[in-house]
Structure 1
Amino acid sequence: MEYIVTQIEYFTKYLESKWIRSAPIFYVMTGILLSSINSLLSKTLGMNANQIVFGRGIIVCIIGKLVTQQQNINLYGFDAGIYQKLLLRSLIGCFATLLFYTGLFYVNISEAQVLMQTTSFWTTILGIYILKTEQFSWRLVLNFLFCFMGIILLVQPPFLRKLAGEYEIADEKQNQFLGCLILLLSSMLFSLVQVLIKNLSHNVNQLVIPQYFSITSIIFSSFLATCNPDMIWRVPSVGDLIKLCLIGIVSYLQQLLMNRAYMKGNLTEMAMLGQTQLIYGYLFDILRGAHISFLSICGSILIASSICKRILEKNKVQDQLSK
């Protein structure tokens, strides 16, 4: 493990010294691909969402412990305020992750990923009404309306399906609505997580945060399995066990790459590149033979467009303030 970490450090330093601009782009594109692979593995895994959170937590905890130990990163000795933020971030993040894997069972990978991109809008709402770091504007309202219209198309209400000439199946309609609702709630919670991470990043090493999150995931999912018989775990097959291990590894690497990308690259550029996740999502849906609705495609385009427009507007405001 020490050899692997050393080689990764060497490769990272070499990449950032030779290609200063290209390195963050490589990080974000690789991180997005890993995120899509994570969704694909979870979609094809024969386990409930709670067991996925538990297994992922164990793998991330083991990897994180080995990495932080090799890097001599202190995991303890913080003041009470930091511990409270770490615990709150871990609990909210754990519940949001559980909701994500639950919602993923009901919708396509591409639909799940575009709904999770709405996190930026919920973060903006927090910034306006709670943190007071954002300002209300009619352009923002217009972006929200476009995003909301996209969400409605993803939900695929019956009257729109009839207009599009698509057959309506009761179970499919119910699952689509439930999946979208769960994923939107997950996206809202992840917006809270982003705010907490931003506050914690100035006080602890970035490798400390996923370590506390993984431990909380193990405890939280174990508690749910004890309380709810529907979440009792089953013994995984060899194939499922391999997939579960890959989910943990991919999740850990994806977090590190995305954090590094936002640290070293232009925030606007990284956020815009993040929308390419939708391409991976549709590619994996096509490869696994999933039915892709015309309404879903239109909704995804509307949401992605509104997010990109919001990113560009925010960057323009920041540029004006810096002058």
Structure 2
Amino acid sequence: MGGSVIGQRTLKSLGLGMVTADLGTIGSADDLRRRIARQGLAVGVERNMVYEQSAGPVTYAPALAGAPDGDPCPLGRALSIGVIDGPVDADTTALAGARIASRSFLREGDAPGAPDHATALAALIAAPGNGQWPAGFARKARVLSAVAFAKGAAGDVARTDAIAEALDWLVTERVRLVNLSLAGPENATLAMVLHGLARRGTIFVAATGNDGADAVSFPASHPDVFAISAVDARRRLYYKANRGEEVAFVAPGVELFVPTAEGGRYRSGTSYAAAIATAIFAHAIDGGATGRSALERALRAAAEDLGPAGRDSSFGWGLLKIVGCSK
């Protein structure tokens, strides 16, 4: 007929034979069916279809962070959390029903950066959980998305002035917890802004960076910022994570399932660990911890010590655990 046999099997329990074939010059499965029927043979013909697992994405992070039954509990109140990054795709299924407000700090003529990174951060923090998508680590939180990243020649970038303006807006909106999943060279102006806002009570949580270096990136290296690194499902340090004495804590950040323009992908990086850490900080604040010192004490008391005993340059004080989350 113009096709070729690839393989033959016998299904003994059913008393059936099965042939896998390449149609070759045969036009379609329907053409083959008609040819076989004309031969008077009792043979069924169907495409060799491919099926996918229906189990859904693997989500180890909630259990690793101490969430009961692997399901992070919601905040008791609608705490506002600032995220300075690119634009958030609030229409994605993962964020359906989430409370998100956004404002851009790009210059006229700037093209906004890609939405995947910021959308992933927002989902890890505040995704409501809808059966199709895992819940965020601080659902019921209100996310204020400050868009500071624009398209650059070599990727999305945020200028110092845009970040500073974004911080100023968040403070006017009474936001006291800010995620900074960004990294770059130390900047005296931005350092001054961070210090001034920290003295007024703003809590900053930032990613250590993904260069595999023995130096924490800025702004995580700033003394008024909590530097967060990433671990995998087996509590091993992310191999690209930067190390340094500034590391405060670690959180899950390797192979996390996050929303993308294609629907969803597994992503790794200290940015994602910092987002989960920010959500865990929100739980501690929700539980009554106020101020940097009180927060650090509460989170240190709950953290799982990893690596050498006490604080170290890879894991800081250890793996963050959700404070006050019970079912």
TM-score under structure 2 length normalisation: 0.23
Higher strand proportion, which one? Answer: 2
Report which of the two structures shows the higher radius of gyration computed on alpha carbons.
2
Flag the structure with more relative contact order, 1 or 2, with Cα contacts below 8 A and sequence separation at least 6: 1
